[in-house]
Amino acid sequence: MLLINYGRNVWVRCRCGNQWLEPEISRADFDALVGGPHGTTYPSVEAGLAALGFDGVFAGIYLE
């Protein structure tokens, strides 16, 4: 699962491409989880999703 901080909201996304707003995780919770000097910032949400493998390319594929 990937946590996305976009504006004042925190979204959760899985590798299959499903995404939902998670109202139980606040911006402060998000900042506490990812705080530190080792984060990566991407030019757009779409660029970050593709770089991290959460762009839904593998949606519906099951590996054995």
> Mean pLDDT in each 10-residue stretch from start to end of the chain (64 residues)?
84 86 88 75 86 80 70
Which pair of tokens denotes residue 26?
């606040």
Give the position of tokens 């593998």: 58
Environment class of residue 49 by beta-carbon count within 10 Å: exposed (0-12), middle (13-18) or buried (19+)? buried
Is this prediction's pTM over 0.85? no
What pLDDT, on the 0 to 100 scale, is given for residue 21? Answer: 94
Q: Any residues with CB less than 8 A from the CB of 14 and at least 6 apart, and which?
A: 1, 2, 54
